[in-house]
Structure 1
Amino acid sequence: MRYLPHSAADRQHMLAAIGASSIDDLFAAVPKSVLGTFSPDLPDHQPEFAVEAHMRGLAKANHAAGDGPFFVGAGAYRHHVPATVDHLIQRSEWLTAYTPYQPEISQGTLQMLFEFQTQVANLTGMDVANASMYDGSTATAEAVLMARRITKKNKVFLSGGLHPQYRDTVVTYLSGEEGLECLSPSPEGQGDIVDHIDDDTAAIVIQTPDFYGHLRNVSALAEAAHEKGALLIVVVTEIVSLGLLEAPGALGADIVVAEGQSLGNPLTFGGPYVGLLACREKFVRQMPGRLCGETIDADGKRGFVLTLSTREQHIRREKATSNICTNSGLCALAFTIHLSLLGERGLTRLAKLNHSRAIALADMLEAEGVEVLNKTFFNEMTVRLPVPAVPVVEALAAKGILAGLPVSRLEPGKPGVENLLILAATELTTDADISALVDALKGEIA
């Protein structure tokens, strides 16, 4: 079988068959700013062992998160993942399992997803959770669409404290539609989304801890939203924080979405990760993705089935509740194993340890005159340097210290963010790491 036509005539025939005039038509949805020629610097026509040697050389150029002091967070966090997690998810019955269409041969997978849903519902304080989403950002976009279906309203306000990449994902999902408004960032934690809510509002979206590390008053925001008939969507990018903070569902949230990477899933240079979505039971029919349920078979034995699966609604095309095509099953399994190993007390201890490490970081920074903007935080904070943050981060990276995320990298062109740096500390952050960061910072900002 020929996958690529060798002649121009063949290519033109295939394009005509699908109604495209040129190859460029196939990439019309991709912004021109990211299109271009890419010529990888790889050896040409080399034997396999030579290519392997070249790739090993490229890999050695990487500076991984565990190679030195590491303070990068902003939605993806370095936590310890027990060896048990990796061992179990690589068992063949898990590693090769995919979609549980036939419950009679998929009971193990279905039960795992059921347990995962139970854990997520308990963590978030909600009635029901689905069997995972792609990641936190797309789960947020799905929650916005879900809220618009429930309320029959279009207006949605995104908090300025929402992660910029989550915001951009929502904007992409709702591209061309009216009613979406993104509020200005508030690095100092000032400003409030409450003043923007009116009777036409479908939902407001807040993050806690937010992009800058501030904790939000969920109860007050829930009350303000509900008074106007709007829903409150709460986003959590650091799921470990729910081991210490009160669950959003207990504070009035209607839909909770989160990134589950922190439990069971290493950074892995950016993914794959696992999105969490939970809601009130009365909204379950509008929930995207799939839902596993517990039942009893004809013999009275306990069993598990797909109770709700909006994936099957791809047949309905534009009338479908959601067109998500799969779930992050293996990542969800890793999440469930890690959380099961921790248990409730273990998760609480882990969360307290994360917070204590962040306090140690903040105290040492302030002792050296570095301005910490946060009055409240969990394991992440924003500092204002006396100089632009990007050159400082690059200089420290050259010394083997990965010193957080300059806000300007995700908010290019925004006034007042050039000197802002977001720092995260986890249970893996040592006193020696903090001392190395502070000493190196002093040398760059003196």
Structure 2
Amino acid sequence: MRYLPLTADDRAAMLAKIGVKDVDALFRDVPKSAQAPREAFDLPDAKGEIEVERILSRFAARNVAASDVPFFCGAGAYKHHVPATVDHLIQRSEFLTSYTPYQPEISQGTLQALFEFQTQVAALTGMEVANASLYDGSTATAEAVLMAMRVTKRPKAILSGGLHKQYIETVETVANLHGVIKRAMASPGRAEDLLPLIDDQTACVVVQSPDVFGLIRDLKPLADAAHAKGALLVVVVTEVVSLGLITPPGEQGADIVVAEGQSLGNGLNFGGPYVGLFAVREKFIRQMPGRLAGQTVDADGRRGFVLTLSTREQHIRRDKATSNICTNSGLCALAFSIHLSLLGEEGFTKLAAINHSRAVELADKLNAIPGVSVITPAFFNEFTIKLPRSAAEVVEELAMKGVLAGVPASRLGYADDLLIVAATETNTDEDIAAFVKALEEVL
């Protein structure tokens, strides 16, 4: 038992100490439907390295990868082309092997990369200052709510119904003990009226644009209403490429902007690791979570970089810290910056325009199919369609035809006949034709 050195008696003693009778009890919170029976894998007790590689390769071959078939899934994670240069550069040893700069001023290269990343994020979001990244978009949203509560000293956060369900659940998990989290109801394809929910106890209103159904919202009226009551507006962006065409949230009155940066430099990666973007108004900088790289000059007048305004739990007393986030997604943030630098401002805008045109073309063709209707009136590269029957069933049937058609809204707790569809620069005319043809056949 080279890799499992514990004896049966050792395991029994550990289980007794924990207070459970067997190992299965440790997985009791995992739904039975998500648990595969052990016999389903039919794994042998021992094999040589070559045999193990062959067995695992057969398991892997049962997956359908996003690059294998026409792919139209989104809902918070998007398939974009990542230039080979990005992967080549981030695998340099000084980037790939570096970790948290505990003696940061020695790591000038790392700090400069983070400083450039922050500058890019601030420019994209239309905000004055950004931090050196958080884990992902959902945890960044939760940190934004906690920050708003600290700034306003108020207990209530209002969450738009158009906010991705998993973001809502993350906020509730992280922030529920700190205040009152109030969900608003969403009508797919329409912006709900959040104004009546804002009162003198409201710390922030959290709204996503484009929302989980793809709808682009006008944020200015909501920002004005929140500010009139002394509340902050938190804007969430799950598709950062949209900022190449849409007016930045900062120019629409947002106080805090959080985003998922996966679309730039980072692949789908089966759900992670991703990179959370976090940007704020300068007046709130001391309440911002995470790291902040700053630019300065040394004793000889040379340009240098430092970690500044360090209000994290590693630097000051935990009870005084603005965040217990203990590291940033450094390598993912670097990939983001390299990809965006390669694109440049003009290239990024062009990429966004291509995404939008692909989605418009697909929406028009799907909308022409009898029984199918596009219900998102204004969108970027993602929209929702209404089907004459279960979207989950349709998706399964289309997968059998070699098309991954989107994300059934029912997976996120919404109506069963809605399908969330995304199109990016990676979708060809042939992909779109295959989707349309397959959908016509199953309907």
Match of 2:391 in 1: 389
Q: Give the letter for the 2:435 counterpart.
A: L
List gaps (5 residues or longer) in structure 2: none
Aligned in 2, Cα 1:94/1:41: closer, same or farther, shift over 3 Å?
farther
Whole-angstrom CA distance in 2 between matches of 1:90 and 1:273: 17
Match of 1:321 in 2: 322
Whole-angstrom CA distance in 2 between matches of 1:24 and 1:254: 50
Maintained 8 Å contact 1:310/1:323: no
Aligned in 2, Cα 1:393/1:29: closer, same or farther, shift over 3 Å?
closer
Q: Give the letter for the 1:82 counterpart.
A: P
Maintained 8 Å contact 1:313/1:321: no
Whole-angstrom CA distance in 1 between matches of 2:16 and 2:324: 26
Aligned in 2, Cα 1:37/1:79: closer, same or farther, shift over 3 Å?
closer
Q: Percent identity?
A: 62
Whole-angstrom CA distance in 2 between matches of 1:190 and 1:403: 25
SS of the equivalent of 1:308 reads: coil
Q: Give the letter for the 1:215 counterpart.
A: I
Aligned in 2, Cα 1:4/1:367: closer, same or farther, shift over 3 Å?
same
Whole-angstrom CA distance in 1 between matches of 2:421 and 2:121: 27
SS of the equivalent of 2:47 reads: coil
Maintained 8 Å contact 1:204/1:231: yes
Match of 1:345 in 2: 346
Alpha-carbon displacement from aligned partner over 1:314-343 (angstroms, at most 9, x marks no partner)? 763344311111111000000000000001
Match of 2:91 in 1: 90
Match of 2:43 in 1: 42
Asked if 1:380 is matched to 2:378, the reply is no
Maintained 8 Å contact 2:158/2:184: yes
Alpha-carbon displacement from aligned partner over 1:277-326 (angstroms, at most 9, x marks no partner)? 00011111111110001111111111111113344447633443111111
Aligned in 2, Cα 1:3/1:48: closer, same or farther, shift over 3 Å?
closer
Alpha-carbon displacement from aligned partner over 1:233-262 (angstroms, at most 9, x marks no partner)? 000000000011111011100000000000
SS of the equivalent of 1:427 reads: coil
SS of the equivalent of 1:309 reads: coil
Maintained 8 Å contact 2:314/2:326: no
SS of the equivalent of 2:292 reads: strand
Whole-angstrom CA distance in 2 between matches of 1:30 and 1:422: 32
Whole-angstrom CA distance in 1 between matches of 2:193 and 2:224: 14
Aligned in 2, Cα 1:37/1:209: closer, same or farther, shift over 3 Å?
closer
Alpha-carbon displacement from aligned partner over 1:172-200 (angstroms, at most 9, x marks no partner)? 11244541111112212142111211111
Match of 1:333 in 2: 334
The one of 408, 411, 415 equivalent to 2:410 is 408
Maintained 8 Å contact 1:311/1:326: no
Match of 1:185 in 2: 186
- Structure 1 residue 171: deviation in Å? 1.0
Match of 2:123 in 1: 122
Match of 1:432 in 2: 430
Match of 1:240 in 2: 241
Whole-angstrom CA distance in 1 between matches of 2:323 and 2:167: 18
- Structure 1 residue 424: deviation in Å? 0.4
Q: Give the letter for the 1:374 counterpart.
A: T
Match of 1:269 in 2: 270
Whole-angstrom CA distance in 2 between matches of 1:172 and 1:52: 39
Match of 2:419 in 1: 421
Superposition TM-score, scaled by structure 2 size: 0.93
Asked if 1:105 is matched to 2:103, the reply is no
Aligned in 2, Cα 1:233/1:421: closer, same or farther, shift over 3 Å?
same
Alpha-carbon displacement from aligned partner over 1:378-414 (angstroms, at most 9, x marks no partner)? 0000000011101100010111100000000111xx5
Asked if 1:305 is matched to 2:306, the reply is yes
Match of 1:151 in 2: 152
Aligned in 2, Cα 1:399/1:318: closer, same or farther, shift over 3 Å?
farther
Whole-angstrom CA distance in 1 between matches of 2:332 and 2:22: 35
Whole-angstrom CA distance in 1 between matches of 2:178 and 2:22: 25
SS of the equivalent of 1:65 reads: coil
Maintained 8 Å contact 1:43/1:51: no
Q: Give the letter for the 2:234 counterpart.
A: I
Maintained 8 Å contact 1:314/1:323: no
Aligned ranges 1:1-150 → 2 under 5 Å: 6=7, 8=9, 12=13, 21-22=19-20, 31=29, 33=31, 39=38, 41-150=42-151
Q: Give the letter for the 1:76 counterpart.
A: A
SS of the equivalent of 2:95 reads: helix
- Structure 1 residue 375: deviation in Å? 1.1
Alpha-carbon displacement from aligned partner over 1:427-446 (angstroms, at most 9, x marks no partner)? 1111111111111111112x
Q: Give the letter for the 2:252 counterpart.
A: L
SS of the equivalent of 1:264 reads: coil
Q: How many residues align?
A: 438
- Structure 1 residue 23: deviation in Å? 8.1
Alpha-carbon displacement from aligned partner over 1:198-229 (angstroms, at most 9, x marks no partner)? 11100000000000010111111100100000
List gaps (5 residues or longer) in structure 1: none
Whole-angstrom CA distance in 1 between matches of 2:131 and 2:295: 13
Match of 2:442 in 1: 444
Aligned ranges 1:209-224 → 2 under 5 Å: 209-224=210-225
| RMSD after superposition | 2.5
- Structure 1 residue 66: deviation in Å? 1.0
SS of the equivalent of 1:344 reads: helix
Whole-angstrom CA distance in 2 between matches of 1:388 and 1:133: 37
Q: Give the letter for the 2:166 counterpart.
A: Q
Maintained 8 Å contact 1:5/1:11: no
